[in-house]
Chain A
């Protein structure tokens, strides 16, 4: 039944714009359905109905959930009742509830932090925990009372500063209304006190469990923000740098590329932070499956991840094991080169698939996807009756904070490290991939995606925090991500190393050392598919390398609409 519904929705999306008499109160995808068909809808009210008033709607269908944050209810309604329901004076709009996905928790322990830190046993630790280091999180905010973001004694919060930059009316809070910032913060610095001890089987904690957090709220209750909010927050982070020892900044956010980085205010702000001595870590994006411009997902890194002056992080799938040999890139992780500037991105990849971290129970994400709440049975012994307090999410949003936590540990060990040194060491010590390709399957659609383990997909490889901490390298020069030049006559792509780049300065920093075999410049393009790299004249080729970038003013439409993703299997 549900499958039919989804098909119906997709078809009607595609015929959007053809002339049907439309009820302005019913979303177009809900017209022309078979009579008698059950439809999952979100009914938006003018005023939130009382419980008693809600019973009145029972005649139209089954009431499933209150979504009072959007003044709405989730209901299952017979298709022929939709028009009548829309006539109700208190009904403002009926939209499809198209979040068709698994309704039960999928997955288990992610082994993300353990993989990144190379900690072989569940309760192991490192000599570094981020003590004294400040990480600025530009996200959807934080509740100041998250107990797992307190010091180990539980006597004081490690959230040392909170500020809101969201200017929308009635959104002016520092709290996390969306639920994203809480999860990101946990990956960076949760101490995991709610899953540690004898009654637990898997410890869910962050990379730097004693780090200080500076929460700058730039995403609203729907996870959206504005360039100006983010720029303003970056400005504040730079101002607060010495007061809170802010050495790292995490940006698990982005938007389509609109033009060259040098013209983009958000890119410029990121570069300012980097040059002010803050390690800026940015999510690459989740458009790696996007083939709408014929690029097989290449050229989809978002702003500000397209800045050469940051560490851009793609999402790795640990396949829920500690072993690194089975790790693979997620199918959705955005790929370089960047549009317009042709910067080689991402710089590195880190665990980002089905990651377990902190939950804000009072958030839009929790309300929308309770199936992503992690049952205690996933990480506790069968006798454990404690409340579930963790949440599962996927995306490069989860990968970036792994690297932010790693950077905090590095500057704790060696406070003199510059952002360029942190980036160069992380990239050089990243674990290189040995397989040329990997495959991933979407759990909802069953569709399989093949990824090439090339430089534009996996960067310098997979985050290895312990190797980075063990490195005694003191590189000099700029670690700005290099541009890539494509010679259409020979079909060869090559790195364009800036004059002051530390890459290639000596054998220690040769490009093949940093990027491994994923960089085979000069012979032929090993990486990528022929559709993108070999044959000039294809749409994908022009989109990426043509002088008149087809995507120019707008990055291709997201395919995510049709995907209903829930991580890779």
Chain B
């Protein structure tokens, strides 16, 4: 049974990868599947940290420079997915990766969690304070300002 399953899957995958247009070596696989008309958040890495000229080139294709990530010779951009291949042809570009979501590695944060279900629907809690369900639990020092700036060094 297992054997059958394997044989069924592998040729299907091989077939899929040969029929669909050849993958661009600089573009991560999961980016190539993005809807061409959508804007995607992409970490674009260059041979050297990108300069204003690189940002400009991406802007001219409808992209937005969002954050410098010089540590990895790259920057975060929001780019129309349909323009990725064109931009990847730039010899200065080394790699394009999606700005993936990361999560805390807490066992209980399985998606079964109430709050996760809520967030799954795009409920971010934006603009809403944090509920204190157990109103008796808070100490007096809970009443600091939300930025928590008590003189600690901070940018």
Contacts and interface: CB of A to CB of B under 8 A. Distances in A.
A361 B138 contact: yes
B112 interface: yes
Name the residue among B13, B107, B154 with the largest chain A CB count within 10 angstroms: B107
A49 to B, nearest CB: 13
Name the residue among A232, A398, A400 with the largest chain B CB count within 10 angstroms: A232
B114 A175 contact: no
A567 B107 contact: yes
Contacts of B116: 222
B111 A558 contact: yes
B104 A174 contact: no
Contacts of B148: 143-145, 162, 173-175
A51 to B, nearest CB: 13
Interface residues of B, number: 76
Contacts of A552: 29
Nearest to A361: B137
A538 B10 CA distance: 11
A153 B150 CA distance: 18
Given A147-B141, A219-B103, A69 B130 contact: yes
A255 interface: yes
Contacts of B130: 68-69, 177, 221, 362-364, 367
Given A144-B150, A228-B69, A362 B138 contact: yes
Nearest to A73: B131
A interface bracket (residues with beta carbon within 8 Å of B): 35 or more
Interface string A493-527: 00000000000000000000000000000000000
A284 B101 CA distance: 16
B149 interface: yes
B17 to A, nearest CB: 8
A190 interface: no
Given A171-B124, A542-B10, A553-B29, A222 B133 contact: no
B106 interface: yes
Given A42-B117, A228-B76, A70 B147 contact: no
Nearest to A237: B71
A222 B115 contact: yes
B71 A238 contact: yes
Contact of B155 (A48, A163, A283): A163
A505 B60 CA distance: 54
Contacts of B108: 365, 369, 372, 393-395, 565-566
A157 B152 contact: yes
A293 to B, nearest CB: 10
A76 B10 CA distance: 47
Interface of A: 27, 42, 44, 48, 65-72, 74, 93, 95-100, 139-140, 143-145, 147, 157, 159-163, 167-171, 173-175, 177-178, 180, 218-228, 230-232, 234-235, 238, 252-256, 258-259, 263-266, 268-269, 272, 283-286, 294, 302-303, 315, 332, 361-370, 372-373, 387-389, 393-398, 400, 537-539, 542, 546, 548, 550, 552-554, 558, 560-567
Interface of B: 2-3, 5-6, 9-10, 13-14, 17, 28-30, 33, 41, 43, 45, 66-67, 69-72, 74, 76, 95, 97-119, 121, 123-134, 137-139, 141-142, 144, 146-150, 152-155
Given A145-B148, A254-B105, A364-B115, 17 more contacts: A70-B125, A95-B117, A100-B112, A159-B152, A180-B109, A223-B106, A226-B99, A252-B104, A259-B28, A265-B43, A284-B105, A286-B107, A370-B133, A537-B3, A550-B13, A552-B29, A561-B112
